[in-house]
A = this chain, B = another copy of it.
Amino acid sequence: MAANHLLYISGGARSGKSRYAEQRALALAGPRSYIATCPIIDDEMATRIDRHRQRRDGQGWHTIEEPQDLTAALQTTRDSRVVLVDCITLWINNLLYAAETELNTIDEGAIQALTLQMIDAARQGERTVIFVSNELGMGIVPAETLSRHYRDLVGRCNQTLAAHADEAVFMVSGLPLTLK
């Protein structure tokens, strides 16, 4: 049993990623932290978040809402035995949105640097860190430049997380396929 374990979980929308991630976390003893990257921006999202939160109720999770600085959130939660980051896709969405507002740009190099920084932080502490992300690139090529850019940033980040993970899982129809 590794003292520090990185688990990467990917899959499509409604593929059971969050549920599987929580099952894996609940199978581990000790303090649990949940890092939610998701800012509540509309009713549909509020409903989704609420459904996820209900599942965690009464299971002793410490929840942190952090839409952007995942490195800091991972440093803060160093004493937890398991930390679940849900999800990477929204994190990148938040970074993109902030960059646009501030007239900056986020490119693959920037995402790569932030991802490696985040992995470094996750490697600190005797804990399992679970990253949940989405597969976005298996449909028709989107017509909009921004959608393609977003898809590419997520793909780049996913590759880096999966390459560094001790264990990588791809969810299909609620069932896990082992990538490594």
Q: Residue on B with the closest CB to A10?
A: B173
User: Quick check: is A163 within 8 A (CB to CB) of the other chain?
Assistant: yes
Complex Cα gap A148–B14 (Å): 10
Of the candidates B155, B163, B173, which one forms a contact with A170 in the assembled complex, judged by CB atoms under 8 Å apart? B173
Inside 8 A of A10's CB, which chain B residues have their CB?
172-173
Tell me whether chain A's interface is mostly helix, strand or loop, or mixed.
mixed
Copies of this protein, total: 3
A159–B173 contact, CB under 8 A?
A: yes
Complex Cα gap A151–B10 (Å): 17
- 18 extra A-B contacts, CB within 8 A, seeds A12-B155, A139-B140, A140-B151: A12-B135, A12-B136, A13-B138, A13-B141, A16-B159, A136-B139, A140-B150, A159-B174, A160-B174, A162-B172, A162-B174, A163-B175, A170-B172, A170-B173, A172-B177, A172-B179, A177-B177, A177-B179
**13 examples of A-B residue contacts, CB within 8 angstroms:** A14-B137, A14-B151, A15-B159, A44-B148, A136-B140, A138-B139, A139-B139, A140-B142, A140-B147, A140-B150, A162-B172, A162-B174, A168-B175
